[in-house]
Amino acid sequence: MKIIILIPVFNDWQSASKLIDEINNLSISSKFQISVIIMNDASNHDRLNEDKNLENIKSYKIINMKKNQGHARCIATGLRYINDKEDFNYVIPMDADGEDRPEEIKEFIKQIEVLNNKPIVGSRVRRSESLLFQFCYKIHKLITLTFTGKSIKFGNFTCLPKSTVEKMINEKATWNSFSGSLTKVEKDLSSIPSIRGTRYFGPSKMSFYNLIKHSLSIISVFRKTFLIRSALFIVLYILLIKSYASVITAIPLIFLLIAVYSISNLALRENMQEFEKSLDNISNIDHIK
């Protein structure tokens, strides 16, 4: 069983190095062949030159991109590369910073042995950020559920069979939102409980701005449902407040209209032509092992 761990990296080479070591130190049955592919998203910091003894990793390569395209598109390009160029059974995309805990890879593998060719997601059961951020994250999940009907409790830390990878590279939403696209193409997802780890080095890169963009990007995948539900909300809300109309009562409508505008713009990122040509952005490939 051939499993490829796909890791997007932008400058965070110290964390990536530590993650590789921890993956190599995992106790995994020999019937599972582990390979690692790092997608170097046009880092402007040189990576560490290290001579590692990776006895438990079958192969390790770094794919260097010509220009930075962002986290979601970096993963999307990696999925297309793996589907087109690699021999594999499963892909596990994960962040390099330690927030996706490498020990949970073993839980994915346990599920692979039980489930037959079924995608598995790491469903967040505990997070490591501040209470304020966690509260905002719950609001994000509630808004997504309310306006799309989708409860999405996972990020890119997943375990995807080849059949799912093929679906995702033929879905333009993958170029914009990984978790939104996976929810769209697969109706039956299994899950493992996943604890959000702490970063190996430095502060978390998930700012409030990035959380809002992440939330709106997911919603944009289901924009038709969002627009219908938004229209219904506006009608009902106006009926409820018509006797109490004021600047204050108009605030929710203003925020919703801003969200509609933002989501419409984010939806333009779903460019299948760019996605199909994404491998043209590869500068070169370093075969470390």
CA 170 to chain centre: 17
For position 240, what pLDDT does the model report?
86
Decide: pTM greater than 0.85. Answer: yes
CB 180 within 8 A of CB 152: yes
CATH number belonging to domain 2-287:
3.90.550
Q: Which residue, 50, 74, 4, is CA-closest to 275?
A: 74
CB 38 within 8 A of CB 16: yes
CB 37 within 8 A of CB 4: yes
Tell me: the pLDDT tens digits for 118-170? 999 998 876 556 677 677 778 878 888 888 888 888 989 999 999 999 999 99
Task: Tell whether the model's pLDDT for residue 275 goes beyond 90.
Answer: yes
Residues 6+ apart with CB under 8 A from 245: none
On average, the pLDDT of the chain sits at 90
Q: Which residue, 55, 6, 51, is CA-closest to 30?
A: 55
Per DSSP, the three-state class of 63 is strand
Q: Which residue, 81, 6, 33, 93, is CA-closest to 284?
A: 81
Segments making up each domain of the chain, as ranges: 2-287
Tell me: the pLDDT tens digits for 16-60? 999 999 999 998 888 999 999 999 999 988 777 777 889 999 999
DSSP 47: P
